[in-house]
């Protein structure tokens, strides 16, 4: 019985991450903000959920008009993502998100640019079984 409950919890969690990935790939402002709100309301986040919460915070910075809010959302998301990567250096998906954020963010927002190292790492270590493989390979060189 306990194994079944663990299976259900893992399945629900992976569906949530699948949804986060799909929202990210859509780049739909309304869905990003809605998913960020859902992630923010959760008491406990998995590492993958924390990654997407961080990414969506950085994306939200692009949607707000107030410069202080922009900076606050960006810094909160970016710092959280960097902390997550420091603890999980071999996670290709996390490093991909940092790569994309750094690639498109104004250079003055980034203290230490990781784009070259992250891109090299991603291309050397990504596997076809990675859930975002096709999307990553399509977008990393654009």
**Residues listed for the chain:** 142
Structural domain of 45:
2-139
- Per the structure, the count of domains in the chain is 1
Query: What span, in angstroms and rounded, lies between the C-alpha atoms of 93 and 68?
Result: 29
- pLDDT, tens digit, 9 for 90 and up, residues 44-77: 999 999 999 999 999 999 999 999 999 999 999 9
- pLDDT, tens digit, 9 for 90 and up, residues 80-134: 999 999 999 999 999 999 999 999 999 999 999 999 999 999 999 999 999 999 9
* Long-range Cβ contacts of 55-63 (<8 Å, 24+ apart): 55/24, 55/81, 55/97, 55/101, 56/23, 56/24, 56/32, 58/101, 58/105, 59/27, 59/32, 60/32, 60/33, 60/36, 63/29, 63/32, 63/33
């Amino acid at each position: 019985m306990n194994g079944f409950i663990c299976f259900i919890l893992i399945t629900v969690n992976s569906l949530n991450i699948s949804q986060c990935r799909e929202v990210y790939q859509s780049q739909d402002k309304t869905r990003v903000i809605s998913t960020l709100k859902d992630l923010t309301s959760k008491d406990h986040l998995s590492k993958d959920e924390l990654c997407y919460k961080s990414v969506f915070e950085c994306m939200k910075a692009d949607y707000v008009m107030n410069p202080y809010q922009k900076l606050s959302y960006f810094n909160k998301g970016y710092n959280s993502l960097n902390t997550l990567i420091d603890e999980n250096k071999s996670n290709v998906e996390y490093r991909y998100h940092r790569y994309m954020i750094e690639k498109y963010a104004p250079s003055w927002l980034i203290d230490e640019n990781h784009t070259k190292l992250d891109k090299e790492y991603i291309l050397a270590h990504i596997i076809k079984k990675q859930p975002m493989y096709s999307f990553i390979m399509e977008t990393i060189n654009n």
